[in-house]
Amino acid sequence: MISSERELRAAGPLIVAAALAVVASVAITAQDGLPDPWVCLAFALFIGVGEILRITLPGGRESAPLASAGALAFALLPGFQGYDIHVTVALAVTVVTVGSVVGAFPRAFVGQGLHLDELARRVLTTMLAAAVLIPVLPLVYPDRTEVDWKLALAMTLAAVLAGVLDAVLAAAVRASQQRAPFRTAVVDESRALVGIASAIAATGVLIALAAPVMGYWALPVFAVPLLLTQFSFRRFATIEGTYQQTIRALSRITEVGGYTETGHARRVSRLAVMVGRELGVSERDLKELEYAANLHDIGQLSLAEPIPGGTTTILSPTDQRTIAELGANVIEQTGVLTKAAQIVRRQADPYRPAPGRVDPTLLLESRIIKVVNAYDDLVGASLESDRMLQAVERLELGIDREYDPQVVDTLARIVARQTEYAY
């Protein structure tokens, strides 16, 4: 959902490209006319209903699988029972846009926003799918009567190319929004969308293949499996959200017990994820980093007396590593946070255990938490720009041994942006 100026700038070129395609397509369609208004209306309504039934995928991604499947099906439509319909690229873009916009307005009316970036991606991927299939349709569907493997193969290829384009476009927007490396964003988007994208592609191809024989019945019949898939993804996203909330609640134990300052774990977690994202940590590992950052101080519960202010950086290296080890042991007891436990166990280890020698076994996530934890110990909840910049300068004094220079540099860039916005 486009909800901020930065997100709008990130998706701006994508939205402009889609808008130009829509304007040109609508103009061409208005000139040529609709080949059969009822078929176009049926697909537009199908897409609109799918837009209303959109879901949130793991990672906070918004998706409307049913709408995307309907859009793909219309773009690949070779014919329709009882109708002599020839779908063009312009017609496909027009119908998909109308259906998507009609479906988006009810959600916008209740305050759920317009997902302009996803709508733009749907328009462009629809255009690509139609542009790939239409030129070869006379070769794979010559008499427009017999559906065979050649047509199915051509449709599948077009659907795959559309899916690849969708992942690349989503990655480009996400990389710009979050300042993540484009390559990492592509991998993350591919992993996140491969499951639902496969279901969308299969549904779209099946509807398009069945429409010449089944007509309107192809839409509801093949929508049912995708709706069940949507339900499964929704359940998974809900469970994952509950899991994250549980971890965040557990992180407050040290605050309630007076061992750390209020909000320390939350601040470290949020900043660590920002640093990790800019350093190219994959989304899968970012989750583990977030869990570890939230629980990084849980070992302090073993102390007889709280450390003043919860500042572990004032302790000796031995005491810091003891707290980290105890915390890792507690986290391991969950049986499901093995990676997070490993990160916490090594969070107090120096980047260079000896002058001039880097520890190759020290996880990047552990190095990030070490730097960010030290930064928050110095700054706390303060929003004073001078204090934030001075904290970074103090960390830079420790890059010869304690801190990873790359992590400190990344943190410095983030802090510089934050202080710039403060002014």
Question: In Å, how far from its chain's centre is CA 255?
Answer: 31
Tell me how long the chain is. Answer: 423
Whether the CB-CB separation of 292 and 276 falls below 8 Å is answered with no
Structure tokens at 223: 């929508």
Coil vs helix vs strand at 103: helix
Nearest to 276, CA basis, from 264, 267, 288, 294: 288
| Residue range 305-330: mean pLDDT, rounded | 85
Structure tokens at 46: 């199908």
Whether the CB-CB separation of 217 and 273 falls below 8 Å is answered with no
pLDDT tens, position by position, 52-109: 988 877 667 788 899 999 999 999 999 888 777 889 999 999 999 999 999 988 877 7
User: Distance between CA 138 and CA 165 in Å, rounded?
Assistant: 25
If DSSP states are collapsed to H, E and C, what string results for 23-75?
HHHHHHHHHHCCCCHHHHHHHHHHHHHHHHCCEEECCCEEECHHHHHHHHHHH
User: What is the value of pTM for the model shown?
Assistant: 0.84
Give the lowest-confidence range in 20-29, 30-39, 44-53, 339-348.
Answer: 30-39
| Buried b or exposed e, range 14-33, using 16+ CB within 10 angstroms | bbeebeebbeebeeebeeee
Which pLDDT value is given to residue 259?
Answer: 83
pLDDT tens, position by position, 383-420: 888 999 999 999 999 988 899 999 999 999 999 988 87
What superfamily would CATH give domain 252-422? Answer: Hypothetical protein af1432 (1.10.3210.10)
User: Distance between CA 254 and CA 244 in Å, rounded?
Assistant: 17
Cα distances (angstroms) measured from residue 423 to each of 34, 366, 383, 387, 415? 55, 32, 11, 14, 13
61 beta partners: 57
Which pLDDT value is given to residue 422?
Answer: 52
| Residue range 249-275: mean pLDDT, rounded | 89
Angle at 383 between CA 378 and CA 387, to 5 degrees: 45
What is the DSSP secondary-structure string of 361-413? TS-HHHHHHHHHHHHHHHHTT---HHHHHHHHHHHHTTTTTTS-HHHHHHHHH
Residue recorded with tokens 């779209």: 204
* 3-state DSSP helix/strand/coil % of the chain, to nearest 5: 75, 0, 25
Residue recorded with tokens 């384009």: 165
**Which residues are CB-neighbours of 110 under 8 A, at least 6 positions away?**
none
- Taking only Cα atoms into account, the Rg of the chain, rounded to an integer number of angstroms, comes to 26
Structure tokens at 137: 């349709």
Nearest to 12, CA basis, from 114, 117, 165, 167: 117
Percent of the chain's residues with pLDDT above 70 = 95
Count CB neighbours of 49 within 10 A. Answer: 18
Whether the CB-CB separation of 265 and 296 falls below 8 Å is answered with yes
Q: For residue 148, what is the DSSP state?
A: -
**Sorting pLDDT into bands at 50, 70 and 90, what band is 221?**
very high
Arithmetic mean of pLDDT over the chain: 88
Nearest to 327, CA basis, from 304, 354, 298: 298
Cα distances (angstroms) measured from residue 100 to each of 72, 95, 154? 12, 8, 25
pLDDT tens, position by position, 267-315: 999 999 999 999 999 988 999 999 999 999 998 888 777 787 767 788 8
